[in-house]
Chain A
């Protein structure tokens, strides 16, 4: 089953409004989550690293005031796209690192199902 869950899967919003996307870790605590954006037929672009209890770390070129990230608990990170424009329409994916408890020899990064945002 899923270990990382995103909601909503699909959202349509009007230009100028804000929309929030949630990313939850299921049955484990994630002190760090990552937010990616994927343009059509393109690879995934890391937007920011979300740290529980502290400010997110944004990648170069990503507007902090436009893409607000809040990691208020160990199981929830949210991405809010503020004052959305049509060019913000994209597929947003979050991920979290899950320790391999059995082997203690690495970890696995799981992704949420993704959220399609369409701004009209």
Chain B
């Protein structure tokens, strides 16, 4: 079975500060890992994904995440927060097979303070 733990349901940073959203996973098979962002009243948008290639993954909007197998982590970072980054962020894990769904963390709400 797979699971995801997102540490911190709410993270608040100042505009221009580093963003760090934590995600730890559990998987009995090599995982595929994803970060999604959800803006208020909207669906999910893919930020980035790890699929066993490079361990440092770059995504949209300046976000990146590093897969660390020894720590079973896939933390999301951005060097400088913008006001527009305020949203809910979900980490998810999946097996690489044709028809398995994603397992989501509980989400972390990011607030950016001017």
- Report the Cα distance A46→B101, complex, angstroms: 8
The reply to whether B53 and A43 form a contact with Cβ atoms under 8 Å apart is no
Q: A106, B32: Cβ atoms under 8 Å? A: yes
B34–A113 contact, CB under 8 A? no
Which residues of A from 6 to 53 have beta carbons under 8 Å from B?
A: 6, 31-32, 34, 42-44, 46, 49, 51
Q: How large is the interface on B (under 10, 10 to 19, 20 to 34, 35 or more residues)?
A: 20 to 34
Let me know if A93 and B43 touch, CB within 8 A: yes
Q: Given A44-B90, A105-B53, do A32 and B46 touch, yes or no (CB 8 Å)?
A: no
Q: Does the CB pair B107–A109 fall under 8 Å?
A: no
**Measured between C-beta atoms, what is the minimum distance from A57 to chain B in Å?**
9
Q: What are the residues of chain A within 8 A of B22 when measuring CB–CB? A: none
The minimal Cβ–Cβ distance linking B56 to chain A, given in whole angstroms, is 16
- Asked if A49 and B49 make an inter-chain contact with CB atoms under 8 angstroms apart, the answer reads no
- CB contacts (< 8 Å) of B106 on chain A: these are 42-43
For A107, the chain B residues whose CB sits under 8 A away are: 32, 51, 96
Q: State the main secondary structure of chain A at its contact with B.
A: strand
Once the chains bind, are B51 and A105 in contact (CB under 8 Å)? yes
| Bound Cα distance from A12 to B105, whole angstroms | 29
User: What is the interface residue range for chain A against chain B?
Assistant: 20 to 34
Q: Is the CB of A113 within 8 A of B43?
A: yes
Cβ contact within 8 Å between B98 and A109: no
B28 close to A (CB within 8 Å): no
Residues of A within 8 A of B104 (CB): 43-44
8 Å CB contact of B46 from A6, A42, A110: A110
Q: Does A95 contact B (CB under 8 A)?
A: yes
For B43, the chain A residues whose CB sits under 8 A away are 6, 93, 111-114
Smallest beta-carbon distance B62→chain A, Å: 20
Are the C-beta atoms of A93 and B44 separated by less than 8 Å?
A: yes
Q: How far is the CA of A32 from the CA of B100 in the complex (A)?
A: 9
The interface bits of chain B over 90-114 (1 if a CB of A lies within 8 angstroms of the residue's CB, else 0) are 1010101011011111110000000
Residues of A within 8 A of B (CB): 6, 31-32, 34, 42-44, 46, 49, 51, 93, 95, 97, 100, 103, 105-114, 116
